[in-house]
Amino acid sequence: MFDLLVKGGTLPDGTVADVGITGDRIAAVGKLEAEAGRVIDAGGDLVTPPFVDPHFHMDATLSYGLPRVNGSGTLLEGIALWGELRDMATVDEMVDRAVSYCDWAVSMGLLAIRSHVDTTPDHLRTVEAMLEVKARVAPYLDLQLVAFPQDGLYRSKTGRQNVLRALDLGVDVVGGIPHFERTMEEGAESLRDLARIAAERGLMWDVHCDETDDPHSRHVETMAREVTRHGLGGRAAGSHLTSMHSMDNYYVSKLLPLIAESGMTAIPNPLINITLQGRHDTYPKRRGLTRVREMQALGIPVGWGQDCVLDPWYSLGTADMLDVAFMGLHVAQMTHPAEMARCFTMVTDVNAQIMGLSDYGLRPGCRASLVVLDAGNPIEALRLRPDRLVVVSRGKVVAERHRNDARLALAGRPDSVRRRLQPKA
């Protein structure tokens, strides 16, 4: 007997199967004839592992308009606004906003998030707040925290010290932002320094790297070298990498094999990258997204990140990773069926790999976390960004929604409509 049985769902690979759950683990997957404490009928619906976001800023989330709106829409004005807000916001305010966002995330089937936490201010209220959030949501959501020196590791006297303080307090991942240091040389040295810290502490390393339109911002080259030097491999992730959209093809033909050789991963953030980048362009206007397909062709793991929701940098967002994948699909022009399906894995399996979630998936023994979507397959899920009918976290149903077909009043037409396509016979 199972505690929970999800019947007849279509898995992302097209297999139709039942998922039996006992406690907080998946006990069996297949054609299951057994009793259960609760049975969920997922016949015809997509059953997937939960969505995963490997790049977010939870200390700033849901703060849009504080202390005022980003009038220029630029990255630099957003950073300046956040610099004011982080010294005004109390721990309780940041906790309340972040926990509310986690409620949104759970409702959307997003059950694992990596959040960068600004370690610039000496008071470290940001760190205190996000550690409290991590403890509160731990029963149902995996939250990894990154020690992120937003203003640069070396720009202030205590920048490096505060990163180490945050790690000592329990922050999980080493961060960095080399292109925001005072000089290219200091940016490169910050990467060498941070790589040593990650290696010595046995931690993961996630760097805001080359988030700029400047084609001469080439810190990812140094990062890849340090990843190889210290054997960090998949423990290291380069986030954004937007300067690559402005680099010449000859240089990139050298750069990409170095990244692939290192084993590091990449996290573009399409909603934010295409909004913030290219602001100095008239026309032609650059797309603002790194070279996703080219990296994937060399075997580099690339996942989509959300980055921001309702904060100084981005005025929209709903915690829906399918929105992120949908936008990424368009901007990267990944329109072949195999590429569209890959976009779905980029917000599930690949992102779980980037975060190191070892017990993730729909296999016996994995953590019993899954989502039932009102869609028939991953590509349809991207097209519709559908309702999450059921969200299960660690064996417990944590969110539910009734199927919401539209009602029609049209002579000679059906009285309801669903935008799903019927499978071919």
> Known catalytic residues?
211
Token duo for residue 249: 């093809």
Burial class (CB in 10 A: 0-12, 13-18, 19+), 259: buried
What would the DSSP string read from start to end of 44-96? TSEEEPPEEEEEE-TTTTT-TTSSS--SS--HHHHHHHHHHHHHH--HHHHHH
Tokens matching residue 290: 């790194």
- Partners of 10 in the β-ladder: 16, 46
Q: What's the CA gap between 128 and 119, in Å, rounded?
A: 10
Structure tokens at 269: 């953030």
Q: What's the rounded Cα separation, in Å, for the pair 365 and 223?
A: 36
Sorted by sequence, the CB contacts under 8 Å of residue 96 that are 6+ apart come out as: none
How far is 6 from 53, CA to CA, in rounded Å?
25
Backbone angles phi, psi at 135, to 5 degrees: -65, -40
Distance CA 56, CA 28 (A): 33
Alpha carbon distances (Å) from 231 to 56, 298, 353, 408: 26, 19, 17, 60
Region for residue 200 given its phi and psi (left: phi exceeds 0; alpha: psi -120 to 50; beta: otherwise): alpha
Residue 180 three-state SS? helix
The DSSP H or E segment spanning 163 is helix 159-169
Taking the C-alpha atoms of residue 75 and residue 159, their distance in angstroms, rounded to an integer, is: 21
